Amino acid sequence: MHYPNGKKQSVNAASTSVNETIYSNRGMTLEADINATNQFYLQTNQAIIHKKPTPVQIVRVDYPRRSAAVIKEAYFKQASTTDYNGIYKGRYIDFEAKETKNKTSFPFHNIHEHQIDHMKQVVEHGAICFILIRFSLYQKTYFYPAERLFDHWENQFNGGRKSISIKTIEKEGYIIPIQYQARVDYLKIIEQYYI
Amino acid sequence: MHYPNGKKQSVNAASTSVNETIYSNRGMTLEADINATNQFYLQTNQAIIHKKPTPVQIVRVDYPRRSAAVIKEAYFKQASTTDYNGIYKGRYIDFEAKETKNKTSFPFHNIHEHQIDHMKQVVEHGAICFILIRFSLYQKTYFYPAERLFDHWENQFNGGRKSISIKTIEKEGYIIPIQYQARVDYLKIIEQYYI
């Protein structure tokens, strides 16, 4: 088992701090922005959305005297679902967040097949499901509906391209303006197009 | 949120017609039973419910050549939400599972305050929220609505008891008969009282 995408920064999931006053968005990861956004939604009682913990296969745990248990050997596992879910106005919300350095398109190797399967399942049961895609070079973040993703995903197995062009994402998705409090204000898109 | 009252008789009536095959539940943990149940719900496309990974604070990771990253130092963190959530017929489902060896009551030290806070939040947003409580000595499992839990929880800070008696759980909750396939068939309760 290996860690998906080799993205070391998501290991420090717990380290995202809220309420940073003097702040610049430059250099912030998408994950940090989403965590701050979810925290803001929670504090303002708009929606209850959490990131799931990184799945870890624990192999060995030490129990030193008088102190907390220490995990001494563990491995990253592939997630079987998306990273974020929760509830907004009674609706089940489910999404994945992906950042890419690619200049022209969002490559599918960023997504695992079982994540697509999961997204299809929840959509079938009535979820509001999407991915948040950030093109880090341009610092542009898009809300991209899962339903659109499925078609492009399937096409790759029928000779189609193994990515979605920015143009297509711009056409089929919604850009999310970076803001101060809700840095990635995806609820606004949901409110406008789903509710 | 409509909380269903006084329909307890019919649940017990319905539960007598359960197909008990040659199967003993002895020795299975509640978690294993719920995982098997969720797997069955998934396979039969009834509901999409997953257990969240155990939250872990990762401190040190080694990257040996030619092999997977190894977590060398990590610590267990307290969960900030409940363990299970997902979607059923478009509704957001959220619950916690607790097993106790206590003979007469369910002690509150099994639950953390922030889990109660989380349950209150999702209930306010329209979730179907509950705890599954198993008294392991009797191998009896109850579906207990979060709304009822809140009252008892608050009472402990006003001189009330720090647990809920089995009698109260029997009166306010619903027993879940152990079955072969959906071992802890909580959807049946949801179907009857919430949908």
Tens of pLDDT, residues A109-163: 989 999 999 999 999 999 999 999 999 999 999 999 999 999 999 999 999 999 9
- Residue A79 — very low, low, confident or very high, per pLDDT cuts 50/70/90? confident
What pLDDT, in 10s, does the model give residues B121-154?
A: 999 999 999 999 999 999 999 999 999 999 999 9
Q: How far from A45 is each of A42, A91, A126, B55, B118, CA to CA, in Å?
A: 5, 15, 23, 24, 11
Which residues of B fall within a CB distance of 8 Å from A11?
58, 61
Identify which of A3, A63, A33, A85 has the alpha carbon closest to the alpha carbon of residue B58. A3
Q: Are B71 and A71 in contact (CB under 8 A)?
A: yes
Residue among B69, B72, B94 minimizing CB distance to A3: B69
The DSSP bridge partners found for residue B164 are B106
Q: Is the pLDDT of residue B72 over 90?
A: yes
Q: Are A190 and A138 in contact (CB under 8 A)?
A: no
Write the DSSP string, A59-111. EEEE--TTS--EEEEEEE---SS-SEEEEETTEEEEEEEEEE--SSEEEGGGS
ipTM of the complex: 0.82
Cα maximum dimension of chain A = 60
- Which residue is closest to A1 within chain B, CA to CA? B68
**Cβ neighbours of B191 (radius 10 Å):** 13
**A50 to chain B, minimum CA–CA distance in Å?**
8
Which residues of B fall within a CB distance of 8 Å from A88?
125
Which residues of B fall within a CB distance of 8 Å from A69?
75-76
Cross-chain Cβ contact A56/B74 below 8 Å: yes
B135 — phi, psi (to 5°)? -90, 100
For chains A and B, CB pairs below 8 A equal 124
- Tokens 């309760």 sit on residue: B189
Q: Are B73 and B59 in contact (CB under 8 A)?
A: yes
CATH architecture, range A28-54+80-193:
3-Layer(aba) Sandwich (3.40)
Query: In the numeric block, which tokens belong to residue A173?
Result: 């998705």
Q: How far, in Å, CA of B124 to CA of B10, rounded?
A: 28
What pLDDT, in 10s, does the model give residues A31-47?
A: 999 999 999 999 999 99
A96 appears as a binding residue in the annotation: yes
Q: Are B150 and B120 in contact (CB under 8 A)?
A: yes
CATH 3.40.1350.10, applies to B8-53+79-193: yes
